[in-house]
A and B are shown apart, each in its own frame.
Chain A
């Protein structure tokens, strides 16, 4: 018998844990976006060693599983005397990893921006920094909006990995409640529904944003 009451009774706990899912993926995305922009600009820098470092960064963070990165951050940082709460270690891990993907997404989009765009700005005497900030990055963000929303949705799902460093987010909470109630089916269906609602909302938000950015 499917027990609706199990879901109703435990919903507050699930929602409580969902806050961490949102927090980790949301902050991770914010950090990833800022770092990703910096990394992408570095990757395209004419100065060789800067672009090499950025390329190395991308290779590492894309090449090592996020779970391993999380565990590394969790065990490594304290061992060198850096004592940050697990939540922040998790946000940083997710953000640093997302940055590698976002940098590549933006790099692809920047290649699609015609060369004449920056040239027109340079001919007016604009500073390279201003050209990046006002001309190139806004256009790259628009072009890559669908991929960025996709990345954010990935992060929401991937955030379940942070339970490995002791953060009780939605997936971890579902496991605990299932074990306590012996009602895994109901609980996991509820968790799946919550993930689905979040990601449908994000997809909708992304579409609205794309429309707004349309010119």
Chain B
């Protein structure tokens, strides 16, 4: 399942605890290369936690997350923690976009994008600046390269954050509710950018509350509740013909909330 520029992810028997709280319970999920997987579910169900286990921002205690057959974070399934150096190497090919953007406020848009190109990939400053400008161009911010984050709208900030991740040429992109912190009128511009990226064949995992977007762009939708993976199926099945009562109930609340 490994293609040249897209990773596949295999999650097996994944268990995660916050102290004694069992946040993820025996999660089994295949994320095929080049496909878009959306994670949905009620608040507190463990979507962010699952996403953050994929790049080991959260440590897990049971099972494994494998990226292209390589366990991330551990030396082997159930083994010792892998070296920090090796983890950094694996993270280089995994991009992440956060709900709160997490742009660095003391750097311009272009510096935000160029920073890791220089510090992690070892590009020259000039080469990094060129690549950063191109990445910003791609998300429609070619004229904002010199702007500091606090001079940008939320939608623009999130697009800078996407450019920052994409400029590293990751094989896997993780999005944690990329539009939840945005004013409604700014959601569209960010979703458009994500949709464009998806069409390029990058593997993507997207936690989202935008059901319309998930139905439209996802190849598969995974529904979580209370730390359990209830179902993972094509969007048509989840949204039109949900097999599980919990999914039905969730979607009903969602529709009720979005009716007016």
Contact = CB atoms under 8 A, between A and B. Distances in A.
Contacts of A122: 57, 91
Contact of B106 (A125, A127, A142): A142
Interface in B91-118: 91-92, 94-96, 98, 100, 102-106, 115-116
A207 interface: no
Given A122-B57, A126-B120, A215 B98 contact: no
Chain A interface, DSSP helix/strand/loop, else mixed: helix
B55 interface: yes
A80 interface: no
A25 B203 CA distance: 57
Contacts, number: 69
A119 to B, nearest CB: 6
Chain A residues touching B, range? 20 to 34
Interface string A99-139: 00000000000000010110111111111101000110011
A123 B165 CA distance: 9
A123 B96 contact: yes
A125 B92 contact: yes
Contacts of A121: 104, 115-116
B119 A120 contact: no
B57 A123 contact: yes
B115 A134 contact: yes
Given A134-B115, A139-B106, A120 B88 contact: no
B120 A124 contact: yes
Contacts of A139: 104-106
A127 B98 CA distance: 20
Interface string A182-215: 0000000000000000000000000000000101
Contacts of A213: 106
Given A125-B91, A130-B119, A117 B104 contact: yes
Contacts of A134: 115, 119
Interface string A144-178: 00000000000000000000000000000000000
B168 interface: yes
Contacts of B161: 120
B123 to A, nearest CB: 13
A126 B116 contact: yes
A2 to B, nearest CB: 51
A122 B98 CA distance: 13
A78 B161 CA distance: 57
B102 A125 contact: no
B159 to A, nearest CB: 15
B115 A215 contact: no
B98 A116 contact: yes
Interface string B206-246: 00000000000000000000000000000000000000000
Contacts of A130: 119-120
Given A124-B91, A124-B120, A138-B106, A119 B148 contact: no
Nearest to B90: A125
Interface string A59-99: 00000000000000000000000000000000000000000
25 contacts: A114-B100, A116-B102, A119-B102, A120-B164, A121-B104, A121-B116, A123-B57, A124-B95, A124-B96, A124-B116, A124-B164, A124-B168, A125-B88, A125-B89, A125-B90, A125-B92, A125-B116, A126-B88, A126-B119, A127-B88, A127-B120, A135-B104, A139-B105, A139-B106, A215-B150
Q: 10 tightest A-B contacts by CB?
A: A120-B102, A116-B102, A125-B92, A125-B91, A124-B116, A123-B96, A215-B148, A125-B88, A130-B119, A125-B120
